[in-house]
């Protein structure tokens, strides 16, 4: 029985470390290869030893697909390809391919700098890993091999994020990665066509949330000071937001962004402008939305300048580098404020202050008293419950599987999906395998001649009703064609042989053979009113293709032998007649 198997190694009832193994029609694909920001030991990467016990990964996996550049989706990639030893192809969109190495490099630097890790992947490994990447365009069908094909769809969320359809023959799986069904200031909404996959694997971060409009959040956003962000992604959304607000309100306080990053971001957003939303694309000719009037490059010395300012600094969780430096400087003043625009994992200063800690033990046994205001404001770009339902409605899958969310919230969404769409919904934990039986449909081409013959019989085809069609199935070069028997004989250069079944029926009848045949004829004529029953001049009787001949019994003159013979097409009628004749003929009146 063919089946689709899905095993999350990460992101199963969990957020972070996305890594999902899919086995479809004998092909094995890994969806995302992320890391977990909450761990700094070997738990940060998925346990790849579970992928296969049968030798090398490169021989087992047909390809790896990365949905977008966030580290929880690609952070383990260099480790997987250069240290664990996967040597096959890696697919991602072009923006992801361009931005991924920057974030991986950033991550490596932090791991080596802050944690002092020696056995971590190197810059060279990141580069070697990126060389294995094959870039895909939106809506382009990419043939991984003769049987496996993939196709990318726009996912919103961050620049270059994509959903992927994986197809082998008639079986398909769609993996959404992270997506957003509502457009924001710089990106459009996710979209997928009605591809009716066997399985839709969707993220479910906001499985129970229906989010408020963005407007009220924007109104709160006024007197901020330090905004720790990651280099690319939400940072650009926030920059556009502030730029627009400053313009509208004619504000004078300077906004700074860590040196080099604005340039880098601009570069990529300009390069991949088709990936942004319509408004940005439209205005691009007159004004590049990523060239900011109010946002200037930040210099270390500015941190000591008096007066108000807003500073975007990396990294986003206040765990190292410039954002932490500025935070340490400004934490003591209650007039200052830090806004955390996203999630912070345990162990980071960001996590500590969000959980209400006000006295932080810093390195060197210093205690830092946090007097500044601490705010949390979500600018994460995931689909909410409504959006997820919308996507399921759009794709019309046969089954749904939830990943990248918390178990409790998933449970709620699972029920909702099952009720509304009448499809099975699964939510495996990490390491659990979901197996879905599939009935593969095998496409068969029907010859024009055969179709014309069917039409000639006056039966117009009806798309909604299955129709029985007789013909000869020719299987050649993995193609299936149904043609008329005559055409098949001609094509294959074969002679026709007719296969007939024969059966002897003994009748007690003392009359001559000819008379027995007449009696048989009359009996059948009376019983089989809808069939064409004939008495031929040679004395034999026919019913359709069935031939009945009467002969004398060699030993018993009081018994006649009826030889009944029929072709395989009339097998049913043949057996019926035999059983009818076996019952004997009615007495002559």
Partner 1 sequence: MLFGEVGPLGGAAWTAPAVRSGWIQGLRTLAQHPSALRFLAACGAVDTIFSLQGDSSLFVASAAGQLLVHILDLAMRGPARGRCSPQACDWPACAQKIVCHIEDSLCSIATPQVTQALNVLTTVFGHCRGLWTQGLWVRLSPLVARLLEKDPVPASHSLVDLLLSVARSSVPSSDRGLWETLAQTLSHLSPTQAGPLALGILKLQDCPQALRTQAFGILLQPLACVLEAAAQAPGPPGLLGGAAGDPMTADTLLCSKSACVGLLCCALTHLGLLQPLPQRPSPWPQAPLLGAAVTVLRLCSGSVAPTSDVGGRLCAILVGCGRVQRAALDFLGALSQGAGPQESVTQVFSVLLEYLMSPESSSMVLKKAFQATLRWLLSSPKTPGCCDLDPRTQLFLRELLPVLQKRLCSPCWEVRDSGLEFLTQMTRHCGGQAGFRQALLASEVPELTKQLLQDPESYVRASAVTATGQLSSWALLAAPASPERPGAQQKSLLVELLHVLCADSEGFPRRAVMQVFTEWLRDGHADVAEDPERFVARVLQAASRDPDWEVRAQGLELALVFLGQLLGPRGSHCPCAVALPETAPPGTLAQALPEAAPPGTLAQALQVLCRVQLFEFAFRALFDCDRPVAQKSCDLLLFLRAKAAPCGSPQEAGDSPNVASVEATLQRWQAGEQGQPLGYLEPGAVMAVLRSIDLEGLRDTLAESSDHVEKSPQSLLQDMLAAVGVLGENEADCY
Interactions with partner 1, residue window 97-156 (CB under 8 A): 101, 105, 109, 112-116, 123, 127, 130-132, 145-147
Footprint of partner 1 on residues 41-80 (CB under 8 A)?
A: 47, 50, 53-56, 58-59, 70-72
Question: How many residues touch partner 1 (CB under 8 A)?
Answer: 82
Q: Considering the rule CB under 8 A, would residue 362 count as an interface residue with partner 1? A: yes
Residue whose C-alpha is closest to residue 77's, from 27, 141, 10: 10
Q: Considering the rule CB under 8 A, would residue 364 count as an interface residue with partner 1? A: yes
Nearer to partner 1, 270 or 328 (CB): 328
Instruction: Report the residue from 10, 78, 188, 321 that binds partner 1 according to the rule CB under 8 A.
Output: 321
- 3-state SS, residue 22: strand
Angle at 333 between CA 328 and CA 339, to 5 degrees: 70
| Site map 391..430 versus partner 1, x via CB under 8 A | --------------xxx-x-------------------xx
Instruction: Report the residue from 91, 343, 426, 566 that binds partner 1 according to the rule CB under 8 A.
Output: 343
Span interacting with partner 1, options 323-331, 481-489, 504-512, 577-585, rule CB under 8 A:
323-331
Nearer to partner 1, 331 or 546 (CB): 331
Backbone angles phi, psi at 132, to 5 degrees: -85, -5
Instruction: Report the residue from 356, 493, 537, 557 that binds partner 1 according to the rule CB under 8 A.
Output: 356
Q: What is the separation of C-alpha 479 from the centre of its chain, rounded to a whole number of angstroms?
A: 26
Strands (E), 68-209: 90-93, 133-136, 141-143, 148-154, 162-168, 171-175, 199-203
Q: Is 406 a catalytic residue?
A: no
Instruction: Report the residue from 193, 247, 334, 361 that binds partner 1 according to the rule CB under 8 A.
Output: 361
Footprint of partner 1 on residues 150-209 (CB under 8 A)?
A: 178, 205-206
**CA distances (Å), 418 to each of 347, 405, 423, 436, in order?**
38, 17, 5, 16
Instruction: Report the residue from 212, 250, 363, 538 that binds partner 1 according to the rule CB under 8 A.
Output: 363
- 3-state SS, residue 132: coil
Footprint of partner 1 on residues 486-545 (CB under 8 A)?
A: none
Nearer to partner 1, 264 or 281 (CB): 264
Q: Considering the rule CB under 8 A, would residue 334 count as an interface residue with partner 1? A: no
Instruction: Report the residue from 31, 155, 354, 413 that binds partner 1 according to the rule CB under 8 A.
Output: 354
Q: Considering the rule CB under 8 A, would residue 87 count as an interface residue with partner 1? A: yes
Angle at 289 between CA 286 and CA 290, to 5 degrees: 130
| Longest CA–CA separation in the chain, Å | 130
**CB of residue 565 vs partner 1: minimum separation in angstroms?**
42
Q: Considering the rule CB under 8 A, would residue 378 count as an interface residue with partner 1? A: yes
Choosing from 203, 237, 243, 454, the catalytic residue is: 203
**CB of residue 87 vs partner 1: minimum separation in angstroms?**
7
**CB of residue 257 vs partner 1: minimum separation in angstroms?**
13
Count CA atoms within 13 Å of residue 566 on its CB side. 18
Footprint of partner 1 on residues 213-252 (CB under 8 A)?
A: 233
151 within 8 A of 168, measured Cβ to Cβ: no
Nearer to partner 1, 164 or 426 (CB): 426
Nearer to partner 1, 112 or 580 (CB): 112
Q: Considering the rule CB under 8 A, would residue 88 count as an interface residue with partner 1? A: yes
Nearer to partner 1, 204 or 447 (CB): 204
Span interacting with partner 1, options 162-170, 193-201, 218-226, 344-352, rule CB under 8 A:
344-352
256 within 8 A of 307, measured Cβ to Cβ: no
**CB of residue 60 vs partner 1: minimum separation in angstroms?**
9
**CA distances (Å), 352 to each of 328, 344, 356, in order?**
14, 9, 7
Q: Considering the rule CB under 8 A, would residue 369 count as an interface residue with partner 1? A: no
Q: At what angle do helices 123-130 and 94-114 cross, to 10 degrees?
A: 160
Q: Considering the rule CB under 8 A, would residue 259 count as an interface residue with partner 1? A: yes
Please state, as a whole number, how many other Cβ atoms lie within 10 Å of the Cβ of residue 549.
17
Q: What does the alpha-carbon distance between residue 418 and residue 412 come to, in Å, rounded to a whole number?
A: 10
Instruction: Report the residue from 247, 418, 432, 571 that binds partner 1 according to the rule CB under 8 A.
Output: 432
Q: Considering the rule CB under 8 A, would residue 40 count as an interface residue with partner 1? A: yes
> 3-class secondary structure for 134-157?
EEECECCEEECCCCEEEEEEECCC
Q: What is the separation of C-alpha 53 from the centre of its chain, rounded to a whole number of angstroms?
A: 25
Count CA atoms within 13 Å of residue 558 on its CB side. 1
> In the structure encoding, which two tokens stand for residue 349, read together?
């200063």
Nearer to partner 1, 362 or 473 (CB): 362
Q: Is 463 left (phi over 0), alpha (psi -120 to 50) or beta?
A: alpha
Residue whose C-alpha is closest to residue 77's, from 52, 53, 57, 55: 57
Q: What is the separation of C-alpha 530 from the centre of its chain, rounded to a whole number of angstroms?
A: 55
Footprint of partner 1 on residues 270-289 (CB under 8 A)?
A: none
Nearer to partner 1, 48 or 246 (CB): 48
Please state, as a whole number, how many other Cβ atoms lie within 10 Å of the Cβ of residue 374.
18
Q: What does the alpha-carbon distance between residue 64 and residue 204 come to, in Å, rounded to a whole number?
A: 22
Q: Which residues are catalytic?
A: 203
């Amino acid at each position: 029985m063919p089946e689709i198997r899905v095993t999350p190694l990460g992101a199963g009832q969990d957020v972070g470390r996305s890594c999902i193994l899919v086995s479809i029609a004998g092909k094995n694909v890994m969806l995302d290869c992320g890391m977990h920001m909450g761990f700094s030991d070997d738990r940060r990467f998925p346990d790849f030893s579970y992928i296969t016990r049968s030798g090398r990964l490169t021989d087992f996996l047909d390809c790896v697909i990365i949905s977008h550049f966030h580290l929880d989706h690609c952070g383990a990639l260099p480790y997987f390809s250069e240290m664990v030893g996967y040597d096959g192809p890696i697919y991602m969109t072009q923006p992801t391919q361009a931005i991924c190495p920057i974030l991986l490099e950033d991550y490596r630097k932090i791991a080596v700098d802050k944690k002092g890790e020696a056995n971590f992947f190197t810059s060279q490994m990141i580069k070697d890993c990126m060389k294995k990447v094959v870039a895909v365009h939106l809506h382009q069908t990419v043939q991984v091999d003769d049987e496996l094909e993939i196709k990318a769809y726009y996912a919103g969320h961050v620049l270059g994020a994509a959903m992927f359809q994986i197809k082998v023959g008639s079986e398909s799986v769609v993996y959404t990665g992270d997506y957003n069904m509502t457009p924001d200031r710089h990106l459009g909404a996710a979209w997928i066509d009605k591809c009716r996959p066997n399985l839709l694997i969707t993220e479910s971060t906001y499985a129970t949330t229906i989010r408020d409009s963005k407007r009220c959040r924007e109104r709160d956003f006024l007197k901020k000071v330090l905004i720790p962000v990651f280099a690319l992604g939400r940072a650009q959304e926030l920059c556009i937001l502030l730029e627009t607000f400053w313009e509208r309100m004619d504000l004078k306080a300077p906004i700074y962004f860590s040196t080099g990053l604005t340039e880098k971001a601009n570069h990529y957003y300009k390069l991949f402008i088709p990936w942004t939303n319509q408004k940005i694309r439209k205005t691009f000719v007159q004004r590049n939305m990523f060239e900011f009037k109010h946002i200037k490059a930040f210099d270390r010395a500015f941190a000591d300048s008096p007066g108000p300012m807003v500073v975007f600094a990396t990294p986003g969780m206040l765990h190292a580098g410039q954002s932490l430096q500025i935070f340490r400087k400004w934490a003591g003043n209650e007039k200052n404020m830090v806004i955390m625009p996203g999630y912070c994992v345990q162990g980071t200063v960001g996590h500590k202050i969000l959980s209400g800690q006000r006295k932080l033990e810093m390195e060197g046994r210093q205690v830092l008293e946090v007097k500044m205001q601490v705010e949390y404001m979500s600018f994460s770009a995931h689909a909410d419950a409504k959006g997820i339902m919308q996507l399921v409605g759009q794709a019309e899958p046969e089954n749904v599987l939830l990943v990248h969310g918390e178990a409790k919230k998933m449970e709620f969404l699972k029920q909702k999906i099952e009720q509304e769409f009448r499809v099975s919904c699964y939510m495996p934990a990490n390491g659990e395998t979901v197996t879905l039986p599939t009935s593969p449909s095998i496409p068969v081409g029907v010859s024009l001649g055969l179709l014309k013959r069917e039409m000639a019989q006056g039966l117009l085809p009806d798309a909604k009703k299955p129709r029985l069609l007789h013909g000869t199935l020719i299987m050649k070069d993995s193609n299936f064609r149904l043609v008329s028997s005559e055409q098949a004989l001609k094509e294959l250069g074969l002679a026709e042989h007719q296969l007939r079944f024969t059966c002897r029926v003994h009748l007690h009848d003392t009359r001559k053979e000819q008379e027995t045949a007449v009696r048989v004829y009359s009996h059948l004529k009376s019983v089989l009113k809808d069939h064409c029953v004939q008495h031929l001049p040679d004395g034999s009787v026919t019913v359709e293709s069935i031939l009945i001949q009467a002969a004398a019994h060699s030993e018993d003159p009081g018994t006649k032998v009826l030889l009944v013979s029929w072709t395989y097409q009339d097998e049913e009628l043949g057996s019926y007649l035999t059983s009818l004749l076996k019952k004997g003929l009615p007495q002559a009146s």
